[in-house]
Amino acid sequence: MERKNNNTACTSKEAASSTPYRILALILTFSMLLALGLCACSGKSTETTKKKKKAKKTTKETVETVSEPEEDPPTTSESDTEPSDTSKNDPFATTTEEPTNSTSTENPVVGISLPTKALKRWADDGQLMKELLEADGYAVDLQFASNDISTQQVQIENMINEGCQILIIAAIDGDSLTNVLDFAKAQNITVIAYDRLIRRTDAVSYYVTFDNYLVGTLQGEYIRIALDLDNADGPFNMEIFTGDPGDFNAKYFYDGAMDVLQPYISSGQLVVKSGQTDFYDVGTANWSTDNAQTRMDTILTTYYSDGSQLDAILCSNDSTALGAELALATSYTGNYPVITGQDCDITNVRNILSGYQSMSVFKDTRESVKATVNMAEEILTGSIVTVNDTSTYNNETINVPSYLVSPVVVDKSNYEEILIDSGYYKKSDLS
């Protein structure tokens, strides 16, 4: 051990006194002096490092802010978002100083704007869309607009300002987004209309929806068959509740159902005692249960309190059907009518099971969500976008290439197979 140490010391001394090592020692000393001098003169290295540290933090804040803007409004300034330029000009930059989470900022941001959280289907649609997109590495800004048109406009504008690359929008009012979508188009943002078509703009590129006309047809057919309109002795009394006239879908649902039922109204086999059959007369603002209940109350008091039998209520969706059912529960004593719906909301499925609603049209929104996520990814990766209809949906400016998913009828006879076996609901949800 001792011998080894001595040997090492001796060897070092010898080396230091030999010519090549002396030259090496001189070079090392000179380099150290040069480095010290530079640091003392500029102090730039420290400042740059500080800038980079700040930039790193800001990058993270930006990403968090973008994904949850409701809770934490964005504060990003232009200078905060440009860390890489600083490092490019910095001769002392090393790879370890590059922002570690830069991939997050490069993740395309998808803005999702939905009408309301109050209806389960929209809440579920938004949640699933967000989960699927995030699982594939995209940043998501999901907003619900409380069924308020100007709230939705502002939320979309914020998403654009925050740099989203794709917008997925279920419009509260299909006519009210023209300006904000012009702004989106100017920023080259691709817009997917989700479930509801956006009208009178060429800034919408794609549409994912269910076959809305078919939804109405299924409701009309259900009433036709349940009352056996072709064979039974009539006439039968029916009332009509459709959705918000500002929602383009409402007209498709109405048209689909009325194309089946109008011939029977015209022939007198079906009678609408209230006389309210026009699309605007039977509309329900905001698809609100309360509004539907109030209108049904008035109709019952005015036209059915004499003991007249109400045989059917054509309701375009479950929230309007629920309003009609609540009104019937308070003031109707005749035989219970056939009632249609749409969405298979939990309360309505329970009502189907207990006999207070006849059917609901099930739109498996897991499928429309998957199709939308798939479409967003195809757009972002520059792949061919999957559509299956290029002619049906004209928004009064362009034909919007669409991907349509099929709706199905659910009633007491098949709810287990369609809703429970498919995992949409657990049996316990419905009791």
Contact residues toward ligand BGC (CB under 6 A) are 119, 121, 195-196, 243, 247, 249, 287, 317, 342-343
* Beta carbon nearer to ligand BGC, 197 or 338: 197
- Distance from C-alpha of 355 to C-alpha of 163, rounded to nearest angstrom: 50
- Rounded CA-CA distance 401/177 in Å is 19
**By C-beta, is 141 or 343 nearer to ligand BGC?**
343
3 state DSSP class of 117: coil
Given the complex with ligand BGC, which of 310 and 405 has the nearer CB atom?
A: 405
Nearer to ligand BGC, 212 or 237 (CB): 212
Please report the sign of the dihedral spanned by the C-alpha atoms of residue 281, residue 234, residue 325, residue 127.
negative
**CB neighbours of 310 closer than 8 A, spacing ≥ 6?**
237, 238, 239, 300, 304, 328, 332, 334, 337
Burial 122-156 (b: 16+ CB within 10 A, else e): beebbebbbebbeeeebbbbbbbbebebebbbebb
Calculated CA dihedral for residues 366, 198, 379, 389, nearest 10 degrees:
70
Whichever of 52 and 196 has its CB closer to ligand BGC, that residue is 196
* Minimal distance, residue 209 CB to ligand BGC, in Å: 8
Q: How far apart are CA 38 and CA 125, in angstroms?
A: 59
In 3-state terms the chain splits into helix, strand, coil percentages (rounded to 5) of 50, 15, 35
Enumerate residues 6+ apart whose C-beta is below 8 A from 298. none
Question: Quick one: tokens of 272?
Answer: 């609408």
Instruction: Find residue 342's DSSP bridge partners.
Output: 361
How many Å apart are CA 172 and CA 182, to the nearest integer? 17
CA count, 13 A, side-chain hemisphere, 337? 28
Question: Which three-class secondary structure state does DSSP give residue 272?
Answer: coil
